[in-house]
A and B are shown apart, each in its own frame.
Chain A
């Protein structure tokens, strides 16, 4: 599992996750992702287009980070999920509480607020 840091545009951090968000993948990435986003209360958009597998550990991680950001005035937006990953987001209703968008343009709009 890799975390790729992108540009910051209009105050919105753009990041990409690459690989599998299974138990080992979450173990590898969660501390680093949290440390990068939460202390600064970031507005962040996360590209999921290269995430090939998502399970409940990843859902838990996204809820935890999104809630921590929300309490600091930040925001987490997910975008670009492949169809089977998007199905997991919908099955768990994560998309009801964390914005999930199809592409970077619409994700950026939501993240900027």
Chain B
């Protein structure tokens, strides 16, 4: 976990990687974001990153049928919102995954891969590591926009 600067406010949300856990955690994230003075764009991007990353953990992270344990830390920094996703699900490093080819026709269009594309669009950086405790840790920085 990166060192937290003194002027960052932190909120940690821990939940089971189930649909119910996801919905409850999203409510808690939105409540935490309500306390920050964010532009509509920054707020949207923070929610978009949370939605896409957690949907992927819930949808694909289960190991041997066991839903992952998920912790998300929100850090509100002066220049950015940092979201740290920590889970014990299937190893997944999104950094090397290619974006889907942009569709040119309905028949050829893929229906997957847009989530990571949106995360890359919303974020200024993605850092990933597999921890010594065998957990995924993904750090996504969402720049504050006016």
Contact = CB atoms under 8 A, between A and B. Distances in A.
Interface of A: 22-24, 27, 53, 55-57, 59-60, 63-64, 66-67, 70, 84, 88, 91-94, 96-98
Contacts of B22: 23-24
B51 A55 contact: yes
A56 B118 contact: yes
A25 to B, nearest CB: 10
18 contacts: A22-B47, A23-B19, A24-B23, A55-B48, A55-B51, A55-B55, A56-B117, A59-B114, A60-B114, A63-B109, A63-B111, A64-B111, A66-B106, A70-B107, A94-B103, A96-B102, A97-B103, A97-B105
A53 B44 contact: yes
A103 B25 CA distance: 35
A73 B48 CA distance: 34
Question: Which one of B47, B109, B117 has the greatest number of beta carbons of chain A within 10 Å?
Answer: B109
Taking chain A's interface residues, is the majority helix, strand, or loop, or is none over half, making it mixed?
helix
A25 B103 CA distance: 24
Interface string B29-72: 00000000000110010011001100100000000000000000
Contacts of A96: 102-104
B50 to A, nearest CB: 9
B117 A92 contact: yes
Contacts of A60: 111-112, 114
A64 B103 CA distance: 13
B104 A92 contact: no
Contacts of B114: 56, 59-60, 92
Contacts of A91: 117-118, 121
Nearest to B122: A91
Q: For the complex of A and B, list the 10 residue pairs with the smallest distance between their C-beta atoms, beginning with the closest.
A: A56-B114, A56-B115, A93-B102, A60-B111, A84-B44, A55-B51, A67-B106, A92-B114, A91-B121, A97-B106
Contacts of B115: 55-56
A34 to B, nearest CB: 13
A96 to B, nearest CB: 6
A88 B45 CA distance: 10
A57 B106 contact: no
Nearest to B56: A56
